A = this chain, B = another copy of it.
Amino acid sequence: MNVQEILQAAKQASVACGTASLEVRNDALSEMAYALRTEVDSILAANQTDMDAAREAGTKESLLDRLMLDEARIYDIADALEALRDLDDPLGVVSVDRILDSGVHMQRISVPMGVVAMVYEARPNVTADAAGICIKTGNACVLRGGSMAHNSNLAMARILHDAAVATGMPENCILAVETTDRSATDELLRARGLVDLLIPRGGAGLIAHCVENATVPVIETGVGNCHVYIHDPADLDMARNIVLNAKCQRPGVCNAIESILVDASIAEDALASLLPALHEAGVILHTDALASTAAAKAGIPAVMAVEDDWAREYLDLEVAIKCVQGLDEAIAHVNRFGTKHSECIVTEDEAAAMRFLAEVDAAAVYWNASTRFTDGGEFGLGAEIGISTQKLHARGPFALEALCSYKYVVCGTGQVRG
């Protein structure tokens, strides 16, 4: 099927997806998990084809690691489908229930979006995550994964589709775009009336392309230029722990920090504690004038920061450090350079914390805790399909609830408007 045929088929399937009982949807998730475990060999064979081609093309190791599947990873993916099965039904939730003045009975009830399109890059696990969350929320699902993982994605999508259909979900409930042609993504982006929601998952380039070219509704995800701000007064041991965790625990993810702001009034002590620890952890330091002086004094190598550093998402063991004249400058800096993802203040001053939490414009704002907690699992959502950096519909980590809309259901006995 070409993209238009896939979308038409998904649209048609979406009605039956949305009215499938919870039992059928949950059975499908069980069967999908079972099928992944049973067919692990064929998935691994498809993945091997992708891995060989990627290696031949000289793909770097970190990307190969994202692409690679093994039995343990496939079992983890299957476990995640079973975890979805065990979550409460997101559909049919009544959020408003009212008898109107006219006597009609009005309810606002959660319903599926309809057709959800997922555009993503090298990680083949997104295929199963997206398919699973769509099944649970009664959405038809159109998958458009990266060309590097094409064989892995098609193999998994076929297995997941067949398992879901075998347990009573409609034909075409899960469909993968079969071509690696880049124009397929643009067709999805502009399929008004056929795609009810498009979610891009991947690097900044992919996300910007989707947001700038989509005419269908989009949830913008993932780019994270996050900060820790060390305010005066702060517990400097706590500040160092939080910075090290937020920067080093997993530097390639979007909730890792990219800049540290330090009140100039405590910069000397704060940096004397911080710079050696970061250096020891292998972090390259991009420092402003004051922080450069502190680094030199401590005999620690540092690069003089340039204006671009405040906006850079290193996604690596690098960090920018800037000294600020207090809370106002810190908030202004974060609101100027941040990407509305996750922002932290370390302080012993509650009033300052309250101002930071209120005035910083981000999906998640932290007082004395690591930005690394911004995660669907950590936040108790039971799943995660992305982390939204926009404010429309879903913000921060999102999962089942964000893949639902609602409708007003109004029942009367012949009432008309006066």
Which residues of A are in contact with B by a Cβ distance under 8 Å?
Answer: 15, 18-19, 98, 100-102, 104, 106, 113-114, 192, 196-197, 211-212, 215, 217, 219, 235, 238, 241-242, 244-246, 249, 335, 353, 357-359, 361-370, 372-374, 378-380, 390-393, 395-396, 405-417
Q: 15 more A-B contacts (CB under 8 A) besides A18-B358, A244-B416, A366-B411?
A: A98-B380, A102-B369, A102-B378, A104-B369, A113-B392, A192-B212, A196-B392, A217-B391, A238-B413, A245-B417, A249-B416, A366-B412, A369-B410, A369-B414, A395-B405
Q: Is B215 touching A363 in the complex (CB atoms < 8 A)?
A: no
Question: In angstroms, how far is the closest chain B Cβ from the Cβ of A405?
Answer: 4
**Which of the residues B114, B364, B417 comes within 8 Å of A408, measured between beta carbons?**
B364
Q: Is B417 touching A249 in the complex (CB atoms < 8 A)?
A: yes
Q: Is B410 touching A197 in the complex (CB atoms < 8 A)?
A: no
Q: Is A407 touching B393 in the complex (CB atoms < 8 A)?
A: no
Question: In angstroms, how far is the closest chain B Cβ from the Cβ of A408?
Answer: 4
22 example contacts (A-B, Cβ-Cβ < 8 A) are as follows A15-B359, A98-B380, A100-B380, A102-B378, A192-B212, A197-B391, A235-B414, A242-B414, A249-B416, A357-B409, A363-B408, A364-B408, A364-B409, A365-B410, A366-B411, A366-B412, A368-B412, A372-B417, A373-B410, A373-B417, A392-B393, A395-B405
Q: Which B residues are CB-close (under 8 A) to A378?
A: 100-102, 417
Q: Is B361 touching A114 in the complex (CB atoms < 8 A)?
A: yes
Q: Give CA–CA (A391, B216) in the complex, Å.
A: 11
Question: In angstroms, how far is the closest chain B Cβ from the Cβ of A59?
Answer: 29
* A392 with B217, Cβ < 8 A, contacts A98-B380, A417-B245 known: yes
Q: Is A414 touching B373 in the complex (CB atoms < 8 A)?
A: no
Tell me the nearest residue of chain B to A215, going by C-beta: B212
Q: Which B residues are CB-close (under 8 A) to A217?
A: 390-392
Tell me the nearest residue of chain B to A344, going by C-beta: B410
Question: In angstroms, how far is the closest chain B Cβ from the Cβ of A208?
Answer: 9
Q: Give CA–CA (A351, B406) in the complex, Å.
A: 21
Q: Give CA–CA (A197, B395) in the complex, Å.
A: 14
Q: Is B416 touching A372 in the complex (CB atoms < 8 A)?
A: yes
Tell me the nearest residue of chain B to A408, going by C-beta: B364
Q: Is A369 touching B415 in the complex (CB atoms < 8 A)?
A: yes
Tell me the nearest residue of chain B to A380, going by C-beta: B98
Q: Give CA–CA (A102, B375) in the complex, Å.
A: 13
